[in-house]
Structure 1
Amino acid sequence: MDEPMRRGGRPRRSSAEVLADAAAELFLEQGYGRTTVDHIAARAGVSRATFFNYFTAKSDVLWLELDAAVSSLPALLEESRDPSAVRAVEEALLAAARAHDPERVPWAIAQAEVMGIGPELVASVATRVTAQHTAVSAFVGRRTGDHPAALWPQTVAGAMLGAAAAAFGVWVADGVGRRPLVEYVGAALTPVAAGLDGR
């Protein structure tokens, strides 16, 4: 269902986005470690229970967009009709990048040091990277008849996701002058996909 539109034509922000923005403000003001779920809920003007309707832990607010991309990846992979598993993965990752809201920059990456996130950032990233890797290797395995844990599905997943992650990091670091995310992801994936597809 579409988000309700504001009078100016912009979609109304979801409660999850309001909570994520409140958390980012607090992490910048007082640090990640000194910010509690109660602080975030109060800043957003909602209850603690509402927070847990959207997130299972405080660290989850750092990854609102990435979690959405991870959840959409299996469907994007299955939508591809390209006979090449590699090209299908490329197509799905480009679609996810194209759908990313350019105004939603993951401040956890851009401001990790200022926010004092540290090891929690590394742990929460690892969980999400593993989920993406599992989705891609399972898809490649189904397309090729290989077991998802076999070398080829693992290689495709690692190489393609590694290139996309590198592009994402550069996009974040480019600041206000950044171009659309899909341009970065496309530039990173093109040589990798060509090399893998030409094996």
Structure 2
Amino acid sequence: MSTTTPDSGGRPALTSAHELAAVAQELFVERGFEQTSVDDIAAAARVSRRTFFRYFSTKADVLWVESPAELATFRRLLDESTEPWREALCRSAPLALHHPAEERRWMLHRAKLLLTVPAVQEKAAVRHAEWRMIATEFVAGRGQSALVAVAAGHATLAATLGAHEYWIAHPDEDLPALHERFLRMVLAGVG
């Protein structure tokens, strides 16, 4: 997709939702979520306000740019799994949220914003419910009782959030490994 801003030299205008989201997240971390406007994001990305709204309905939506793919990957990995349900969750959840090393900064910014900005946390509830339901439905589909399935869904979400919270304070650690450790600790008590 081309942008409506002509090339004036320097950094080229951005053309993907992910790149636009990365610029927005950087500004949110630097300036504050509430203090950053859509116009600020568009200017920093060298796109028009109209282009921003082609990709996102609100500025908070930039944080969910990868969510549909992550949720689909989580569901697919669990569907393809042949291992016991705890092992499947411990392996699949970190893989579903894994991004290449060059996306580390973007991931850290997203985690900080999701866990610390009240306006973002409100919108996060919908995505968290989807994540939890995928785990719950998977465990129920493995013949576990509704009680165990619901507990496993909530435990999976809690471990995911906990791993990210810990990672924010310890960014030199490996997020997928942390995520798996959190899942193993929390899921050990389920069932």
TM tier, smaller: 0.7 to 0.9
In structure 1, the partner of 2:75 is 74
Amino acid at match of 1:96: A
TM norm structure 2: 0.75
156 and 25 in structure 1: CA distance in 2 versus 1, 3 angstrom threshold: closer
Q: What is the alpha-carbon distance in structure 1 between the residues aligned to residue 118 and residue 53 of structure 2? A: 22
Partner of 1:102: 104
- Tell me if the contact between 1:80 and 1:91 (Cα under 8 Å) persists in the aligned partners: no
Q: 1:65: how far off?
A: 4.5
CA distance in 1, matches of 2:104, 2:30: 24
2:121 is equivalent to residue 122 of structure 1:
yes
1:64 to 1:173, Cα distance in 2 relative to 1, 3 A: farther
Distance 1:26 1:98 in 2: 23
Q: How does 1:92-171 map to 2 (within 5 A)?
A: 92-99=92-99, 101-110=103-112, 118-144=117-143, 150-171=146-167
What is the CA distance between 1:95 and its match in structure 2?
1.8
Q: Relative to 1, partners in 2 of residues 1:21 and 1:79: Cα closer, same or farther, differing over 3 Å?
A: same
Query: How far off its partner does 1:152 sit?
Result: 1.8
C-alpha distance after superposition, 1:15-69 (max 9, x if no partner): 1232123213433454322433233223212233432343232102134455542
Write the letter of the residue equivalent to 2:76.
Answer: A
CA pair 141-94 structure 1, distance change in 2 beyond 3 A: same
174, 188, 193: which one pairs with 2:187? 193
Amino acid of the structure 2 residue aligned with 1:107: H
1:146-175 deviation line (CA, Å, top 9, x unaligned): 5xxx32211011112211221121112213
In 1, the alpha carbon distance for the partners of 2:57 and 2:133 equals 21
Where structure 2 has 5 or more consecutive residues not aligned to the other structure, the ranges are 1-13
The offset of 1:98, in angstroms, is 4.2
Q: % of aligned pairs identical?
A: 32
Structure 1 unaligned blocks of 5 or more: 1-12
Q: Which amino acid aligns with 2:142?
A: R
Q: Which residue of 2 aligns with 1:183?
A: 177
SS for the counterpart of 1:22 is helix
Amino acid at match of 1:187: R
Query: CA offsets per residue over residues 92-133 of structure 1, 9 Å max, x none?
Result: 1132244464343342543689xxx74202202212211111
Corresponding position of 2:16 = 15
When residues 80 and 49 of structure 1 are mapped into structure 2, their CA distance, relative to the original with a 3 A threshold, is farther
Distance 1:27 1:94, change over 3 A: closer
CA contact (8 A) 2:135 2:156 kept: no
Query: TM-score normalised to the size of structure 1?
Result: 0.72
Q: 2:9 corresponds to which residue? A: none
After TM superposition, the structure 1 stretch with the greater mean CA deviation from structure 2, 59-68 or 159-168, is 59-68
